[in-house]
Structure 1
Amino acid sequence: MSWDWFWAPEYAPARFVVRRLLALCYAMGFLCVINQFPALLGTNGLTPAPRFLRAMSFRRAPSLFHAHYSDRFVVGCGWFGLLLSAAAFLGLTDSLPLWASMAVWFVLWVLYLSIVNIGRIWYSFGWESLLLEAGFLAVFLGPAHTEPPVLVIWLLCWLLFRVEFGAGLIKMRGDPAWRNLTALHHHHETQPMPGPLSRVFHHLPGPLHRVEVLANHFTQLVVPFGLFAPQPVATTAAVIMIVTQGWLMLSGNFAWLNLITITLAFAAMDTTLLGWVPVGALTPGSAAGTATPLWHRAAVLALTVLMVVLSYWPVRNLLGRAQVMNRSFNKLHLANTYGAFGSVTRVRFEVVLEGRGAEDEQWYEYGFRGKPGEVTRRSPQVAPYHLRLDWLMWFVAISPSYGRGWLERLVVAMLRDERRILSLLRHNPFPHAPPRHVRVRLFRYRFSTPTERRESGAWWVRTPVSELIPAVSLDEVTPDD
């Protein structure tokens, strides 16, 4: 039997781009582990992972850390993952034999899976599962000196289809604001993590907001079908998605969601646009376009069958009336369902934490790295990096129940001056001694108008709403807190 159908040499440049951008996404994930995991999930973190590991079996949460856990070991895994990601980004894995290149990508997947499966609420975002599913498929793409398997290219396109089409459906089903084209009258202001240009986008004319929504519907509900059309239609569909994702990157901070979606879009491009990519230059002296051995072909066929079978659950979810978004149907995070912003909040609320010293009646605000706080501070560009605490604070502002079990712990950390946890913040108003009291307040925020901006220099205008946690001192904290 001829295997000519199995190979897609015209997608070698696409593989080059996909694997490098995917390595960059992995790097962002492991950098978050290094910088944030000990404070969020470490032994003395906000929600300690060791407690979870003691209560959860390996079968229910597959993770290397069932065998051994320590904060240092997790951070070490983060550094190892970051090192492997950098090697993959630089193309060093392309000079390896097929089995070794696959091993590197498999280790990346296992490491990140191990972290996500014990990360609980801090790792419950859709882009975690998206990175894992894309990363697992990338294991089978092969290095640059081999022919790209067409089945894996199709599986990457199928993943992108579910990401975009699922997001489009959940919008149309979930909130009338998407159907009447008014969603972006609110979204730029109320999204979880505004960026430096979000205020500009918010103040665009109303008719342009409607055009944005229409363009979004077209990109997510119509264009995805073009991914499976002959070239150059598939490439055109991919370009439209990339432009749309670039627009989203400019208008807000969504961790690596936009970057990884762009990454997947490149999988649909052949040499029509990517012919300039110097894939052969990466492996001097090697035979570019070598067919892979039979064991690899068998593995790709097995992967395809597995993904077809597992796709039953996300397809059923897409077609069902009770569609959910960002759901994993198995603990390996393969063949997931995706979606974003099925509902749009109309009003922005923010949680503000304040402290007061023993000899001072004035309250001083703690500053977060990404989320809105000080009204004169412009929202920074954070993505593709992910500030997990800042994102969860947005959910707490919508419903305080999201902070159950860790918001009080954050208050205690401020009272005890626990520097590891406070390192998650941008500004600690008590650098020399902890505050006597800490309180948690809820404010309503809105972007300042152009006139207000000129007169006061304020980026935001805020008004107090309520007190989530009244002033508390360390004397009132129980030992278990």
Structure 2
Amino acid sequence: MWHGEGYWLVRFLFQRALALIYLLAFLVAATQFRPLAGEDGLLPIDRYVEHATFRERPSLFYLVPSDRAIGLAAWSGVALSLLALVGAPYWLPDPYATPASMALWASMWLLYLSFVNAGQVFYGYGWESMLLETGFLAVFLGAGGVSPPFVVLLLLQWVLFRNMFGAGLIKLRGDECWRDLSCMEYHYETQPIPNPVSWFAHHRSKAFHRLETLGNHVVELAVPFLYFAPQPAAALAGAATIGFQGWLMVTGNFAWLNALTIVLAIATFSDGVLTAFLPITAPAAAPTPLYLEVLAIAVALLVVGLSVYPVKNMLSERQAMNSAFDPLHLVNTYGAFGSITRDRYELVIEGTTEEELTDDTEWRAYEFKGKPTDPEQRPRQVAPYHLRLDWQLWFAAMSPSPYRSPWFPRLLAKLLEGDDGVLGLLAENPFDEPPEHVRATRYRYRYTTPEERAETGRWWERERVGSYVQPMSLDEFEDRGPQRRRLR
């Protein structure tokens, strides 16, 4: 074997860690999918049904587009994830453990595929495809006292390689700041959802930022080739990847992107390496069942065939990042931060209970769970949980026009209606009763300097850029219809 003998313990740890990621993903679906993309969501599920075919984007919700089905699927996914987390298939005797494991992991994969394909822009992230690709391969790892098919571990390393190497390539081909090593001078301030450590990381020296940018290139462009090397080189490459992803988790909120990459890196280890450094022992495993070996080889052939377009894309000068090339998201292309924004823009949404608007009207801001609004609010740690609305507000703020975010006017209308589902996505609703008017203003945010923060206690300073949506009442929204709004 390429990486040494024994992978029972590697599989055991990998499955528990992946089950935890699935659990988070299904909890997010249970609490957020319906107000975002349900029957009466910001992007209603009927919109998905009307604009896609089942063959293009297969989902259970194409067949049953209802909130009841969404809730049932999400909470079923939570229950199945808990079974996987506690290793339920391992409780069964060996002739039944592997089939039970395959059924469990296949069910989770099918359920989550339904959410990703029906979630529209709110599920358009690279880590959704990566979870599906990883989850599909997990179906064929087996369980109980038998050894996992080694070829499946190689396929997991192949996912990890494309994730890391693709990210490295798109950076070199993208923003010039990756080539002159200055990108990290902007990244911590302008990333989608900063966390409490981001402010401190931003204020490190230029020399520190250049060194970490260079380190980023080494870990993403050189280290991945060692995933396929003999031990202990493969494990050292995996450890470097885990350390790199751990730093990203400490300094930012990227949902479960970093956590899932760490889970994939487990496949670069062997039982011998793990037992040498951890106070655990691996049991003697029986040979992999023949039927599982045959299935694993068939999956490997499928992956090889489906890898053609992702590899062509990865090597192309016009490389696209985070794209799926098949409706089942079996083999995908990945990448992150091919370009870095230099300025941070935020949308501040405010409401008022006053019916007549004057220059003295009192406006109160809605607070979100992750994205910055109040300059005095310390950035929050939310990852690996995924705040989908907050992420989309970061994208929306990049453009001065709300027309590029068709869900945004509907968000404002639901705030005027006092919609419980949408309000549940917020951290704070400043109104006991729905407001009479709402508006959205676009600001440019920057971190305070250490001197400014010592003096004011603020984490941010902000400058008003312009109106994003002028004050609107619910009657005005209804009178103007869904297609034409007085927006600018």
- The answer to whether TM tops 0.5 is yes
Quick one: percent identity of the two aligned structures?
Answer: 47
8 Å contact kept, 2:146–2:288 = yes
Which amino acid counterpart does residue 473 of structure 1 have in structure 2? S
Specify the alignment match of 2:428 in structure 1: 427
Specify the alignment match of 1:325 in structure 2: 321
Partner SS, residue 463 of structure 2: strand
Q: CA deviation at 1:460?
A: 0.6
Cα distance in structure 1, aligned partners of 2:52 and 2:173: 35
Q: CA deviation at 1:7?
A: 11
Residue 104 (structure 2) pairs with residue 108 (structure 1)? no
Partner SS, residue 350 of structure 1: strand
Partner SS, residue 375 of structure 1: coil
Specify the alignment match of 2:157 in structure 1: 157
8 Å contact kept, 2:29–2:74 = yes
Q: CA deviation at 1:402?
A: 7.3
Cα distance in structure 1, aligned partners of 2:389 and 2:64: 26
Cα distance in structure 2, aligned partners of 1:9 and 1:104: 27
Cα distance in structure 1, aligned partners of 2:475 and 2:267: 58
Q: CA deviation at 1:434?
A: 1.1
Specify the alignment match of 1:88 in structure 2: 84
Specify the alignment match of 2:147 in structure 1: 147
Specify the alignment match of 1:11 in structure 2: 7
Q: TM-score, normalised by structure 1?
A: 0.95
Q: CA deviation at 1:108?
A: 0.4
List per-residue Cα deviations over 1:247-269 (Å, max 9, x = no partner). Answer: 00011000000000001111000
5 Å-filtered alignment, 1:153-192, equals 153-192=153-192
Q: Which runs of 5+ in 2 are unaligned?
A: 483-488
List per-residue Cα deviations over 1:335-358 (Å, max 9, x = no partner). Answer: 100000000000101011010112
Which amino acid counterpart does residue 344 of structure 1 have in structure 2? I
Which amino acid counterpart does residue 182 of structure 1 have in structure 2? S
2:344 to 348, 365, 369: 348
List per-residue Cα deviations over 1:115-157 (Å, max 9, x = no partner). Answer: 1000110000000000000000111011141111110010011
Indicate how the Cα distance of structure 1 residues 278 and 53 shifts in structure 2: closer, same or farther if over 3 A, else same. farther
8 Å contact kept, 1:327–1:336 = yes
List per-residue Cα deviations over 1:49-92 (Å, max 9, x = no partner). Answer: 13322443211111112332321221121111111111111122
Q: CA deviation at 1:271?
A: 2.6
8 Å contact kept, 2:21–2:260 = yes
Partner SS, residue 22 of structure 1: helix
Cα distance in structure 2, aligned partners of 1:196 and 1:6: 42
8 Å contact kept, 1:358–1:436 = yes
Q: CA deviation at 1:421?
A: 1.2
Partner SS, residue 444 of structure 1: strand
Specify the alignment match of 2:447 in structure 1: 447
Residue 354 (structure 2) pairs with residue 358 (structure 1)? yes
8 Å contact kept, 2:352–2:362 = yes
Q: CA deviation at 1:417?
A: 1.1
List per-residue Cα deviations over 1:364-407 (Å, max 9, x = no partner). Answer: 00000000010110111110000000000000111245753210
Cα distance in structure 1, aligned partners of 2:474 and 2:175: 44
Cα distance in structure 2, aligned partners of 1:29 and 1:151: 27
Which amino acid counterpart does residue 315 of structure 1 have in structure 2? V
Q: CA deviation at 1:94?
A: 2.2
8 Å contact kept, 2:62–2:118 = no
Q: CA RMSD in A?
A: 1.7
Which amino acid counterpart does residue 414 of structure 1 have in structure 2? L
Which amino acid counterpart does residue 56 of structure 2 have in structure 1? R
Indicate how the Cα distance of structure 1 residues 86 and 64 shifts in structure 2: closer, same or farther if over 3 A, else same. same
Cα distance in structure 2, aligned partners of 1:291 and 1:401: 58
